[in-house]
Amino acid sequence: MTRSKGGLPRAAATVSRQDDPPPDDFAEISMKQLLGRATSSEGLLVHEGPRHNRTKSYGFQEVCQNDNDDPEDRFEDEGDPTGEDLQLLMDDAIERLGFGPFQNRILWAVGLCFASSSMEMLLFSFLAVVLKADWHLTEHEADTISSAVFVGGLLGNLILGPLGDCIGRKPVFVLTAVILCVFGLATAAATSYFGLWVCRLAVGFGVGGLAVPFDALAEFMPTHQRGTNLLFVQYFWTVGTVLVPTVAYVCLPSGSSSSGGTNSSADDGSSGWRLFCAVCAVPCLLTLCVGVYFVPESPRWLLLQGRHDEALDIIRTAALQNGKSPQALFPTGLTLVHSDSENEDGSFWDLFSPKWLKTTLLLWGVWACQYFIYFGAIMAITLVFAEDPSTDGTNDGPIFDYGPIFVSGLAETAGTSVVIFLIDRMGRIPSQTASYLLGGTSVFALCALAAQDSPPRMSMMVAAFLARLSFMSGTCATWVSTAEVLSTEVRTSGHSTSNAVGSISGVISPYIVSSSTPFNTIGCVILFLSVATSFLVAHLPETKGKAMGVAARNQR
């Protein structure tokens, strides 16, 4: 007699109608499944479900002549299952759900959160340049405002990520949306340098919780549809990257004049940066509304907390919304159980156990490098296509060349499409290594061209486009790979702390990728870190086609 992962006794049995031979690959079926949902009528025990669905599903009926029939007469080594509950692995329950409207609602909610975070993260590349003219900030002061988001992100990842493993995915999702909404709007009302810095710090703290809703979505996805659908979320990030320069074009017209002010107080001049910040905060409000109404708690997390009934209720609701019969898929008496890789409640410190230490260190290295090169590339492109007003002897506001900036933002949409095509064909690891190497080479070429006396504009636009496309492809695949390689008990802690380590390099990046740094130096730094990222990624386990949390366990 064999035993399933969930502790369920299994016996080799063949169930079929007399006139119909059983399929060759019919899986082993336990007595608990055969007698799972039965009704007794006039001495007959008739099985009415459920369907066994690991690779293929077959309907069946088993009729016993009377209630006294001993199952052992027909199934060797199988004890009497009377009074025992059916058991089903959570991984199998998610597979039975498939993909449908239920997951789509969560995808849209998480996507809005990504769009909001994208806009709040990227607006600083415009805001810092504008405030240098509007508030007469020094280069160091402007870089400090830019870094505030990453400092907040570091704190948010260290706090909100582990909090997602402690109190649940949904509460942290809602908290993240509240923080982004409140302090995104507060940025537009800031009247002092310190007040603005605090608002951007708080926004970064909210962005630090972004890994939690992403992981919650991953936990609802069937294995073979997980990679593609998780990447669809990244389209929302690209929407944010395109909306930021669009809103900036409307609210921050080139050559806008400042009406004065000091580096410690703002003047209500005509630059329009307040309107720019307010408009960029609108998606945060939408995220809050959608998250409250459409995002349930993760049943995987509930199961780890011993809240089996709540987990089963959510699974049944998901089946109903996907147009399937909850009772047929998850009949009365069914108990959900953990897979072998998700058999205990975890904590932040488990990341440093022998079980997870190697994976943790590799992920931290990857995220530290990819954060710098992704945001460093965006800042470098903005610097390349932004003209310092002091060069023409005027005191007008900054002059942004919006065309190339907008086109390079569109490149992220193309990058997401490319990685969606490649990730389930090439795999997670090859997709990342190729993307980071191409992105680093493109930024190096862009900076080398920009350092020339008369740089070729079209060549720089092509290099900028390839850089944004490649780095977006790489970071998208990294997000998916990170969520898949970690198991439920440490997923949000591990994902968020990796993000936190990345935030540290994000804090440093504005001081290195700045107008005071030669373009050739910027290009060399980003190329070197791109190669380092590819090297570290190559040592992570491949998660393509595997259950969540299994790949790293098998590698150890």
Q: What is the pLDDT of residues 311-355, one digit of tens each?
A: 899 999 999 999 998 888 888 888 888 765 555 555 667 788 888
Helix axes 169-188, 211-218, angle to 10 degrees: 140
Q: SS3 string of 140-170? A: HHHHHHHHHHHHHHHHHHHHHHHHHHHHCHH
User: What span, in angstroms and rounded, lies between the C-alpha atoms of 319 and 129?
Assistant: 50
Long-range contact set of residues 398-402: C-beta below 8 Å, sequence gap at least 24: 398/129, 398/130, 398/132, 398/133, 398/254, 399/254, 399/255, 400/126, 400/129, 400/245, 400/248, 400/249, 400/252, 400/254, 402/245, 402/248, 402/249, 402/254
The percentage of the chain sitting over the pLDDT mark of 90, rounded to a whole number, equals 23
| 3-state class (DSSP) for residue 535 | helix
pLDDT digits (tens, 9 = 90+) for 96-111: 888 899 999 999 999 9
Mean pLDDT calculated for residue range 144-173: 86
**Phi (first) and psi of residue 465, to 5 degrees:** -60, -45
- In the DSSP assignment, the letter for residue 28 is P
The predicted pLDDT at position 361 comes to 92
pLDDT digits (tens, 9 = 90+) for 238-255: 888 888 888 888 887 554
- In the DSSP assignment, the letter for residue 82 is T
Mean pLDDT of the residues in the chain: 76
448 close to 460: Cβ distance less than 8 angstroms: no
User: What span, in angstroms and rounded, lies between the C-alpha atoms of 464 and 406?
Assistant: 11
The percentage of the chain sitting over the pLDDT mark of 70, rounded to a whole number, equals 75
The predicted pLDDT at position 32 comes to 40
pLDDT at 74 > cutoff 80? no
User: What span, in angstroms and rounded, lies between the C-alpha atoms of 384 and 400?
Assistant: 10
Q: What are the structural domains, with CATH classification, of the chain?
A: 84-252+270-325 (1.20.1250.20), 348-387+398-555 (1.20.1250.20)
Burial class of 121 by CB neighbour count within 10 A (0 to 12, 13 to 18, 19+) = buried
pLDDT at 92 > cutoff 70? yes
Mean pLDDT calculated for residue range 21-33: 41
CA dihedral (319, 324, 328, 332) in degrees, to 10, reads: 30
- In the DSSP assignment, the letter for residue 265 is B
**Phi (first) and psi of residue 400, to 5 degrees:** -95, 135
The predicted pLDDT at position 106 comes to 92
Mean pLDDT calculated for residue range 433-437: 95
375-to-323, 364, 384, 413, 512 alpha-carbon distances in Å: 42, 17, 14, 16, 11
Strands 63-64 and 86-89: unpaired
**Phi (first) and psi of residue 114, to 5 degrees:** -65, -45
The predicted pLDDT at position 397 comes to 53
